[in-house]
Amino acid sequence: MKSNRVVLVIVSLALMLFALAGCGKDAAQDSQKKLNVVATTTMLTDLVKEIGGDHVSVQGLMGPGVDPHLYQASAGDVTTMSKADVVVYNGIHLEGKMGSIFDNLTKQNKATIRVSDAIDPDTLLDFDEENGVKTKDPHIWFDVANWKLAAKAVYEGLSKADPAHKEDFKKRYDAYLTKLDETDA
């Protein structure tokens, strides 16, 4: 009878240790999991890589030389975006044919970062569309001050989606701002 209790205590302790070891492993795995990010343009893909570093896995939808104004997302692109943890896009009608897709992702509570939201429209150049409609120039990366605001939007969005790595994102964001300042000078 006494030996059965000893065996029961030993088995119970072993199960508790196994459970605790498993919990620690899950927490470690979660902190090592990369944030799955989809960015629309090559410029945004590069920006997310700069700020996210090793904590993100970034997929760009549009390759070099693709005109984002004319780009039409495929069904596969929509699936890729819906499976992402975060979707990063420019806005200001740069991805003109994809507006309804971004609206639907937002309605589905998908984490999205529209970098143009961080920019004062008064700092953007006026732009005449081919159909005569006046809008703002969406090519925000040509203005270093505006691109720095885009970088801030990416930093804040990644930090919200992955708060465990906020400090790393901040270091990389600050280093990127320094690079932009040096390049601008």
pLDDT over 80 (residue 12)? no
Is the CB of residue 52 less than 8 Å from the CB of residue 78?
A: no
**Domain hosting residue 84, numbered range:** 34-184
* 75 and 144 housed in the same domain: yes
* 99 and 156 housed in the same domain: yes
DSSP 56-113: EEEEESS-TT--TTT----HHHHHHHHHSSEEEE--TTTTGGGHHHHHHHHHTT-EEE
In the prediction, which pLDDT does 137 show? Answer: 86
Average pLDDT over residues 133-161: 94
Residue that wins the pLDDT comparison between 18 and 46? 46
Backbone angles phi, psi at 39, to 5 degrees: -120, 145
In the prediction, which pLDDT does 13 show? Answer: 38
pLDDT in tens, 63-121: 898 999 889 999 999 999 999 999 999 999 899 889 999 999 999 999 999 999 999 99
* 13 and 72 housed in the same domain: no
The residues, any chain, with a CB within 8 Å of residue 81's CB and separated by 6 or more, are 38, 61, 73, 87, 101, 105, 110
How many angstroms from the chain centroid is the CA of residue 101? 17
At how many degrees (to 10) do helices 42-52 and 144-161 cross? 60
In the prediction, which pLDDT does 20 show? Answer: 41
Average pLDDT over residues 154-173: 98
- CATH number at 171 reads 3.40.50.1980
In the prediction, which pLDDT does 11 show? Answer: 38
Query: How far, in Å, are 2, 87, 102, 153 from residue 99 at the CA level?
Result: 72, 13, 5, 19
pLDDT band at residue 158 using 50, 70 and 90 as cut-offs: very high
* 68 and 94 housed in the same domain: yes
Structure tokens at 78: 């929509």
pLDDT in tens, 14-25: 444 344 444 444
pLDDT band at residue 53 using 50, 70 and 90 as cut-offs: very high
In the chain, how many domains are there?
2
* 28 and 38 housed in the same domain: no
Structure tokens at 150: 């885009």
* 8 and 76 housed in the same domain: no
Is the CB of residue 38 less than 8 Å from the CB of residue 61?
A: yes
User: What span, in angstroms and rounded, lies between the C-alpha atoms of 183 and 156?
Assistant: 23
DSSP 103-171: HHHHHTT-EEEEGGGGS-GGGSPEEE-TTS-EEE---GGGSHHHHHHHHHHHHHHHHHH-GGGHHHHHH
| Mean model confidence pLDDT for the chain | 85
**Among residues of the chain, what percentage have pLDDT more than 70?**
83
